[in-house]
Structure 1
Amino acid sequence: MPRHHAGDLRKGVLFDVDGTLIDSAYLHTLAWWQAFRQAGFDVPMARIHRHVGMGGARLVDSLLPEGRDKSLDTEILAAHAGIFGTFWPALRPLDGARDLLAQCSEGGLAVALASSARDADLQALRASLAADSFIHAATSANDAERSKPEPDILIAALAAIGVEASDAVYVGDAVWDVYAAARLGIPTIGVTCGGTSEAELREAGAVEVYSGPRELLDRLRDSAIGKLLAG
């Protein structure tokens, strides 16, 4: 467990997981693509990828025709979950992810995973990350009524570590992460390792953009996280 209790820490960092700490954004894209095809919908992977990071129900509703038989949505969500589950053995942390969490935690910041993943997927992601000793709290889709770009999951993560939005930074790979954090006034550090470009992340409002956890870790002192550590 972390050396500090979250309640004793005044500042914190929230992390998205899929595509930010774990190299799984394209695995989700493939899982959704297959789930849609099983239901008779041919959705290009490029369109799917641009929506990865939303909650599942919102993603389905955004990508499929409005006049569809919506009774199929539950089947599509279940199919995605089943297909993505077959990829669990292939999950790998992105370079520097564990060390980044360790540096934040050991520097005296509360660390929370703010993910829209299902509970089962989040457990698989955390097992791949192998960094629980540096994580104070983690939230999943079950902790939010509305998914990104709504800020519910971030609100739950802040509450779990007892940190105010004004004392937090968020790290994410999708524009949906940036939009969600902006609604709470939380600055977002973007990472391009999930497949979203620096230009898109900056246009969405990211205050900084790095190629991935390793570059952020290497430049941590000069980053928005570094300002929290210095304060």
Structure 2
Amino acid sequence: MDDDNRPAGVLFDIDGTLIDSTYLHTVSWWEAFRQADHDVPMARIHRAIGMGSDKLLDDLLGPDRDRDGDQKLRDGHDSLYAAYWERLRPLPGAADLLRACAARGLRVVLATSAAEHEVAALRAALRADDVISEIASSADARESKPAPDIVAAAVERAGLDAERTIFVGDSVWDVLAAGKLGIGCVGLTCGGTSRSELAGAGAVAVFDDPADLLANFAESPLAKLD
């Protein structure tokens, strides 16, 4: 497809951006670490949420650790987090924001570090499949965020014009991943990362949550994509 004919679009992270799950991941990793005799403070875990599990483990346990236990840690997290799936809830205005983007002719794409088996639960909680064009997950990336692989895969799968694409995320890892491709990232503080941290990482604008972004859509970077 010629770049001039590629549509504009909005990429959305899911965890902490559209679904209120950041702290559930934090608690699940904390318990998984405890079960493996790793005492990692929750505050440190929270700041690593948004990376893929490989980079999260490097950050929290060190790159020189014995990696033989990594899969057990991942399995422990997955099992603990799965207990919350039926109770996952969208953040305020999440589905309405996606539908507003689609109504303006913007292609709506999910770009997440979540594994495929988690994505189905997140989509069920979000209830916006009717306007989601494509999904890129950890299976589509060689490296996880803050590497740009997932963002690049989402742009390519949806056939987007990268120069008319915005990424919406809640972590500094989202901002950094988008920035490596020259794609602007709108930050949301609903995942627990402060406005100053998101702006300092390079976010082109920061809002409280999807409802706040929707209420201020006309003044946001998303409006300039039309």
TM-score range, shorter chain: over 0.9
Residue segments in structure 1 that go unaligned for 5+ positions in a row: 1-7
Is residue 144 of structure 2 the alignment partner of residue 147 of structure 1? yes
The percentage of counterpart residues that share the same residue type is 51
Structural mapping, 1:179-218, within 5 Å: 179-218=176-215
For residues 1-231 of structure 1, what are the structure 2 equivalents within 5 Å? 10-229=7-226
Amino acid at match of 1:12: G
What CA deviation, in whole Å up to 9, does each residue of 1:23-69 have, x standing for no partner? Answer: 00000000100111111100000000000000011101110044432
Partner SS, residue 47 of structure 1: helix
- TM-score (structure 2 length as normaliser): 0.96
Q: Secondary structure at the match of 1:31?
A: helix
SS at match of 2:108: strand
TM-score calculated relative to the size of structure 1: 0.94
Alpha carbons 1:190, 1:208 under 8 Å: kept: yes
| Structure 1 residue 9 displacement after superposition | 5.7
Cα distance in 2, alignment partners of residues 31 and 126 from structure 1? 20
**Worse-superposed segment, 123-132 or 159-168:** 159-168
Q: Note the alpha carbon deviations across 1:181-209, whole angstroms, 9 max, x for none.
A: 00000010000000000000000000100
SS in 2 for 1:50: helix
Deviation string, structure 1 residues 134-163 (Cα, Å, up to 9, x no partner): 100011110101000000001110011101
The answer as to whether partners of 1:31 and 1:83 remain within 8 angstroms in 2 is: yes
Number of aligned residue pairs: 222
* 1-structure distance, mates of 2:104, 2:123: 21
AA of the residue aligned to 2:74: L
Q: Deviations along 1:95-135, whole A, 9 cap, x unmatched?
A: 10000000001110011000010111111000000000010
Inter-partner Cα distance in structure 1 for 2:156 and 2:54: 24
* Aligned-partner Cα distance in 2 for 1:228–1:166: 9
Partners of 1:200 and 1:78 lie apart in 2 by 31
Could you tell me whether the CA contact under 8 Å between 2:6 and 2:161 is conserved in 1?
Answer: no
